[in-house]
Amino acid sequence: MRIALTGIAFLIASGVSAGDAPGGVPYPAGYRNWTHVKSTAIGPKHPRFDVNGGLHHFYANEKGLEGYKTGKWPDGAMLIDDLLELKENDGVGAEGTRKRVAVMYKDSVRFRDTGGWGFEIFKGDDSVPSLNAEGRAACFTCHTKQKDRDSVYSQYRK
Ligand code: HEC
């Protein structure tokens, strides 16, 4: 019982809603209040514009931020790649609608086969997970190339 309560307290403290999402990665409720790590704009010249085109804003919860500083992410860390459409009006680039929210969630026991990270995609404004096992494996295949940085690509600037 005590373990269960600690678990719930942890989930609340980390801003993650309790509940057992199919892939084990819950919707990152409130991520817009977390730390903004960086942004990347992917334009039409990119080979994967159809999938990845638009404005990416990266966020991290408190434990996620800790990892950016130490290079090793503790359990409970959540990293977000929020992808919005990039609109252009008279030379001004602006945010459009949300395309999807990509999430990495650290749990070294549950996700031990994928470097301790759970991967998930929430489409549009939907809070329901969309990836199957194959999709999650594809995320890890690319992210594991960053082995010496705990599978994380982005860097936090001061
Ligand atoms: C072909 C390689 C590749 C694949 C496949 C890939 N990613 Fe990434 N991902 C990246 C790169 C590169 C970045 C950093 C982009 C930047 O800094 O602008 C990144 C960044 C991220 C971040 C922010 C944390 C970090 O590592 O910088 C999250 C969260 C993320 N991806 C989730 C996913 C999910 C979920 C999937 C599977 C649906 C996925 N990624 C598939 C290459 C990939």
Each domain of the chain, given as residue ranges in start order, spans 2-149
Residues 6+ apart with CB under 8 A from 2: none
Q: Under CATH, domain 2-149 is a member of which superfamily?
A: Cytochrome P460 (3.50.70.20)
Ligand 1 centre distance from Cα of residue 1 (Å): 37
Of 18-22, 100-104, 111-115, minimum mean pLDDT range? 18-22
β-strand partners of 100: 83, 123
**Model confidence at 20, in pLDDT bands (50, 70, 90)?**
low
Q: Which residues line ligand 1 (CB under 6 A)?
A: 40, 56, 58, 79-81, 102-104, 119-121, 135, 138-139, 142-143, 152-154
The residue nearest atom 6 of ligand 1, judged by CA position, is: 139
Ligand 1 centre distance from Cα of residue 153 (Å): 7
3-state class of 67 per DSSP? Answer: helix
Ligand 1 centre distance from Cα of residue 60 (Å): 13
Q: Are 86 and 41 in contact (CB under 8 A)?
A: yes
**Residue 112 reports pLDDT greater than 70:** yes
